[in-house]
Chain A
Amino acid sequence: MKAKIIRRPLVLVFLISAFITLAGSCSFIFASYFSDELMYADANVNLFTLVPELQGKNHYEVSIRRLDSPLLDSLAIFVRADLVEARVLLLNPETLSLIDTITQAEAVAGGGQLFKQLSVNQTGSYLLGNALYDPLSKSVTGTAAVPVPVSEISFFISPIMGIGPFHFIFFGSPGTGVQYYSSPTYNLANIVINSVVSPTLLGSTMKDNKLLFLIKLGDGSIGYINVDPANVLPAVDFNSISMSNISIDSDNPQIWLTPYGPIARPNKSQLITRYDFATGKAIDSINLDDKNKFIYFENDGCFFYVIDRVSGLLIKSKTWWKK
């Protein structure tokens, strides 16, 4: 009898442990009509309250970038739609409260132009498109010094600060190549692309003081290479560095690199998957409830942002692996 009393709680504990273990590894336990990012939500704001003209627009362009600067940390959101003036919203990255709105008209008056590439230069000023924005005076003060070829840029990598020289990387569509700048001289270094494998740079981040480049080869395989920033100049030959493959089942995935692994969203998919740097295999994933949601991961892998284009709700969420 006594043994039974002792055994029953043990069985109960075992069953609860098994359930939690199963629940932790199986997403069907918490599957619902609602998007998974809600479980990790930290803050939210509705874009339509910040830009009322967007409400009811079926299509609008949006781009998000976390801008860390000694002068001001912010979350920059570029929005543009038909009959809606392009603008950049600067939000408090913690609370998502509005800091400032910079319209296209203000940028042009200041000598620049807004487009979706958002970055910070070596002095801590913001590069909103090629407009130079001073976070202290909250005004556009001129044009960016970096010779950004506006018409060619299809992707733009945030600068990586705190490791000596200021590094700045961008690249155009496949074939135009990857270009790398380093402050203070902004010397251009063309990164060598092997013409046979035709690599395309999908993203970059810093991990263990190394530059990580995420690459897609001509045969569709995707992987990454480690590059020591000290050895970037004058050129990096992608073909000379072995690439670690990751198995992403999509031709045209959206990819973000974080120090905790590359994150990929297959084309028009609701599934967001994190991959292991060491093995290239999927580690974990979450489900969005809508294929059309916009998503952006911070480079440091701590937070991600999801915008529901229909409701305009912007949710800032902790990444599911990072407290």
Chain B
Amino acid sequence: MRIPRRIPLFCALVFFSLSSLALHAQDVGLSVVIVPPQVPANNENTRLFSESFETLVQTEFLSAGYKVVPFASTDSAVSEGSGTEGETPDALDKAVAIANASGVRLCVVINVVVSARFLVYSVYAVDARYSLVLGSDSGSVYAGLTALAVIQDSAKAFVAHTIVRVVEAGAGSAAIPIPYAITLKSRDEGAEVFLGESQESAAVVENGIAVLPYIPLPENSRLAISLKKDGYYDSSRQVKLLGKEKAYTLPELRPLQNNALVLSWGYGRLLGMGGAYRHYLISDQVFLFGEDDLYLQYGFNPYASPVFHNDIFMGIGAYLFFDPSSAFRVSAALGGGAMLTLLPQKYAQQRFFADYYAVPFCLQFEYFIRGRQLVLEFRAPFAFDTGTGLLGQRWCMISEFLPMITLGVVLPL
């Protein structure tokens, strides 16, 4: 019987591969301790998959020539991981402590949960020498027989990646992952945090912070974070992960507006205030408004008397550029109104005056900053000569050529 020529060649290649991995492991003299998943009582499915995943990972390390040290859970090993007195050690510290307690360089931590017929798993390896997460993998799959193939592939990929990183870490060329779980600061209580394109919530803002699950992302990499909350516009931000920075502040979400109050003050009526009510026909796009500006005209001169003006303005406005979640927006409005004037004087044929006007174009620039929507408005009314007023028929300008310029804040109702 002739032996096919390919079989000796195949055996030689397998032998060569295994030998090279074993020699590599011997060269670096690595051992690994594997922290098995914590299995809840009476959860047979979780136990089965946990044991399978642990065995697969263990086999892969053994195949690569690593020595696998049995894990002995001790409180002392965990407590050694606390960096500062009184602090709870994080996952990285714990893994480093376990590796040190076991006298090995690598600590592999496995988590497996079966819930609602889904298997969710994760695994990561920590290099105790450099306090680095060298590799990780995670996923979720239907908790059936097909899951075994998935976790097998995961275990293989994880171990292969990890042992390459062990070499890189030894050579000092590894990209250093951040050694902490990212904390996000947000004023939007109850908002959900989403990572990348994921549709699953990664964390929820509670008491002003949201702590993400630990992800061994390299330093200086960028993480896309989205914040979502009912009644608010979604907000996205890219966070650059810096070595020492653990907490990142997210921009405040902008609420969907159906009604708003606008308080304003500005050039042309510095001695007074304006208040406007906005009702949005289309949320944050088209609005009706009614405004009342009450102000004094007074020269701070002992010979002057205050003149009272009340400007009532109504109209419709629409945002022209930029979508509602944008920080900067431009809107235009048109409308009409009346400026009522009370002229206190000793002898007067007429004390009350009413100037009726139209505003064909009123421009508003809005900027959303620190949870406040600021608005800068330019308005130039055209007054009509109805015989009841002081302005006559003309464009109303201040100091001959300036429109009224006001600064306001939009308060959602």
Q: Is the CB of A44 within 8 A of B345?
A: yes
Q: A30 — which chain B residues lie within 8 A by C-beta?
A: 270-271, 297-300
Contact flags (1/0) for B331-363 with A, using CB distance below 8 Å?
A: 000000001010101111110000000000000
Docked complex Cα distance between A311 and B384 (Å)? 11
Contact flags (1/0) for B302-328 with A, using CB distance below 8 Å?
A: 111111010000000000000000000
Docked complex Cα distance between A33 and B305 (Å)? 17
B74 within 8 A of A: no
Taking CB as reference atom, which chain B residue is nearest A22? B300
Q: B302 — which chain A residues lie within 8 A by C-beta?
A: 323
Docked complex Cα distance between A30 and B339 (Å)? 16
* CB within 8 Å for A313 and B390 given contacts A30-B298, A39-B307, A323-B302: yes
Most buried by A among B269, B383, B391: B391
Q: Is the CB of B303 within 8 A of A44?
A: no
Task: List which A24-70 residues lie within 8 A (CB) of chain B.
Answer: 24, 27-36, 38-46, 49
Taking CB as reference atom, which chain A residue is nearest B345? A41
Q: Is the CB of A40 within 8 A of B347?
A: no
Docked complex Cα distance between A44 and B343 (Å)? 10
A101 within 8 A of B: no
Docked complex Cα distance between A50 and B146 (Å)? 102
Partner of A28, one of B267, B305, B397, B400: B267
Docked complex Cα distance between A313 and B353 (Å)? 11
Q: Is the CB of A38 within 8 A of B343?
A: yes
Q: How many residues of B contact A (CB 8 A)?
A: 43
A23 within 8 A of B: yes
What's the minimum C-beta distance from B393 to chain A, rounded to whole angstroms?
7
B175 within 8 A of A: no
Docked complex Cα distance between A290 and B391 (Å)? 8
Q: Is the CB of A40 within 8 A of B350?
A: no
Taking CB as reference atom, which chain A residue is nearest B404? A33
Q: Is the CB of A39 within 8 A of B399?
A: no
Partner of A33, one of B385, B387, B396: B396
Q: Is the CB of B301 within 8 A of A38?
A: no
Q: Is the CB of B307 within 8 A of A44?
A: no
Q: Is the CB of B390 within 8 A of A311?
A: yes
A254 within 8 A of B: no
Q: Is the CB of A318 within 8 A of B397?
A: no
What's the minimum C-beta distance from B317 to chain A, rounded to whole angstroms?
21
Q: A318 — which chain B residues lie within 8 A by C-beta?
A: 303
Q: Is the CB of B271 within 8 A of A29?
A: yes
Docked complex Cα distance between A38 and B352 (Å)? 12
Q: Is the CB of B347 within 8 A of A96?
A: yes
B290 within 8 A of A: no
What's the minimum C-beta distance from B310 to chain A, rounded to whole angstroms?
12
Docked complex Cα distance between A35 and B303 (Å)? 16
Q: Is the CB of A44 within 8 A of B301?
A: no
Q: How many residues of A contact B (CB 8 A)?
A: 41
B389 within 8 A of A: yes
B275 within 8 A of A: no
What's the minimum C-beta distance from B52 to chain A, rounded to whole angstroms?
69
* CB within 8 Å for A270 and B390 given contacts A31-B268, A46-B349, A323-B303: no
Q: Is the CB of A311 within 8 A of B385?
A: yes
Contact flags (1/0) for A270-301 with B, using CB distance below 8 Å?
A: 10000000000000000101100000000000
Q: B404 — which chain A residues lie within 8 A by C-beta?
A: 33
Most buried by A among B269, B347, B393: B347
Docked complex Cα distance between A20 and B299 (Å)? 10
Taking CB as reference atom, which chain A residue is nearest B350? A44
Partner of B391, one of A33, A36, A94, A322: A33
Partner of A32, one of B269, B383, B393: B269
B392 within 8 A of A: yes
A173 within 8 A of B: no
Q: Is the CB of A308 within 8 A of B390?
A: yes
What's the minimum C-beta distance from B84 to chain A, rounded to whole angstroms?
36
Q: B298 — which chain A residues lie within 8 A by C-beta?
A: 30, 39
Q: B393 — which chain A residues lie within 8 A by C-beta?
A: 310
Taking CB as reference atom, which chain B residue is nearest A287? B399
What's the minimum C-beta distance from A287 to chain B, rounded to whole angstroms?
6
Q: Is the CB of B397 within 8 A of A33?
A: yes
Q: Is the CB of B349 within 8 A of A32?
A: no
Query: Can you name 14 extra interface pairs (CB under 8 A) apart from A20-B300, A39-B304, A96-B347?
Result: A29-B270, A30-B300, A32-B269, A33-B339, A38-B390, A39-B307, A40-B304, A44-B343, A44-B349, A46-B350, A97-B347, A290-B392, A310-B392, A320-B299
9 contacts between A and B (CB under 8 A): A32-B268, A33-B398, A33-B404, A35-B390, A39-B304, A310-B393, A311-B385, A318-B303, A319-B303
